[in-house]
Amino acid sequence: MTLSTVQSHDASSFWVSAPGVGEIRRERFDAHRGDEVVVRARFSGISRGTESLVFNGRVPVSEYQRMRAPFQSGEFPAPVKYGYASVGEVEQGPLDLIGRSVFSLFPHQTRYVVPVDAVHVLPADVPPARAVLAANMETALNGVWDARPHVGDRVAVVGAGTVGCLTAWVAKRAGCDVQLVDLNPARSVTALSLGLPFALPADASRDADVAIHASGSPAGLDLCCRLAGFETTIVELSWYGDTMVPLPLGEAFHVQRLTLKSSQVGHVAASQRARWSYRRRMQLALSMLADSALDALITGESAFDDLPTVMAQLSASPGNTLCHRIRY
């Protein structure tokens, strides 16, 4: 049974109006068919790496279609409404969903209508404020699947941003001997909160069985090559937008018989694809957010109306920011 009222709704949304410029826009949407829900947002998360590239107009022309977010409006480079980490409460829809807290891959917007199968009910032990990490957790989970480490493997994760920290955390839960590596010594505090060994690049252990790169920096990828052991697979989680990345394919790359492998959350990892759907993967990602230690990855919070200023600041100088949460 569905509770349905056909009417127009007012909403406010965040748009990149031009590269480097954001604004809050008013819009209306019609609600809702029986196979849809109306969601009132409570929180959203900024996926800082990708959203900074989008905000600054750095999506390559060749990737305009492949980089579209599920509920994106507008076109790259701008104006565009982009984002994919919204947590809210169902206001209208099937009776068993009304009042439930849900996650959706929707941009930053106060209220919105989406198909029923586009929302994921939060597990009872996952608070809405933490659930903004779901999209990043899904990326980390897929990256570990692509890396395919075994129990006891030495895993080097280079880059202690949100995705890197989550990737290291997932790998440790899988029974691996994990080391999280970053240039920023302040990341050691976050690593400690997550129960992860931390090292600066100069102190990082060599001869890793698996190396995973998530720093978004060419220097980080170079470091992964240096930390990798014989016949190690290096999994690249970073997305560089329009930046060309040099890679030392001379030196020891061939002698070590290294493998460089891409990982991208748009497809379920090949090792799992036969049995895992997108929905099953997201449900697992959400369930893994029950650990309160993960709150250490949310390093700031701002009101929705401040998003234009916040996004400009984070894109220009992120500082020690990991996940920045938006409050509605």
Return the H-helix or E-strand segment holding 26: strand 21-31
Report the pLDDT value the prediction gives residue 7, as an integer from 0 to 100. Answer: 61
Q: What's the pLDDT at 31?
A: 66
**Intervals of CATH 3.90.180.10 along the chain:** 2-135+290-327
Supply angle C-alpha 252, 237, 307, rounded to 5. 140
Whether 85 has a pLDDT exceeding 90, the answer reads: yes
Instruction: Examine the pLDDT at 2 and tell me if it is beyond 80.
Output: no
% residues pLDDT > 90 (the chain): 89
d(CA 69, CA 248): 33
Give pLDDT tens digits for 102-118: 999 999 999 999 999 99
CA 264 to chain CA mean position, Å:
11
Query: pLDDT for 9-54, tens place per residue?
Result: 799 999 999 999 999 999 998 767 789 999 999 999 999 889 999 9
Architecture of domain 149-262: 3-Layer(aba) Sandwich (3.40)
- HEC-encoded secondary structure of 227-274: HEEEEEEEEECCCCCCCCCCCCCCCCCCCCCCEEEECCCCCCCCCCCC
pLDDT at residue 316 is higher than 60: yes
Interval 143-196: pLDDT, tens: 999 999 999 999 999 999 999 999 999 999 999 999 999 999 999 999 999 999
159: tokens are 């880059």
Average pLDDT, rounded, for the chain: 95
| Confidence band for 1, pLDDT divided at 50, 70 and 90 | very low
- Per-residue pLDDT, averaged over 50-77, amounts to 96
- The whole-angstrom distance between residue 181's C-alpha and the CA centroid of its chain comes to 19
For residue 4, is pLDDT > 50? Answer: no
pLDDT given for residue 3 in this prediction:
46
Of 112-116, 212-216, 245-249, 295-299, the range with the lowest mean pLDDT is 245-249
Domain with CATH 3.40.50.720 in the chain: 149-262
pLDDT in tens, 287-315: 999 999 999 999 999 999 999 999 999 99
Q: What is the mean pLDDT of residues 126-136?
A: 98
Q: Higher model confidence: residue 5 or residue 81?
A: 81
Rounded CA-CA distance 58/76 in Å is 9
Q: State the architecture of 2-135+290-327 in CATH terms.
A: Alpha-Beta Complex (3.90)
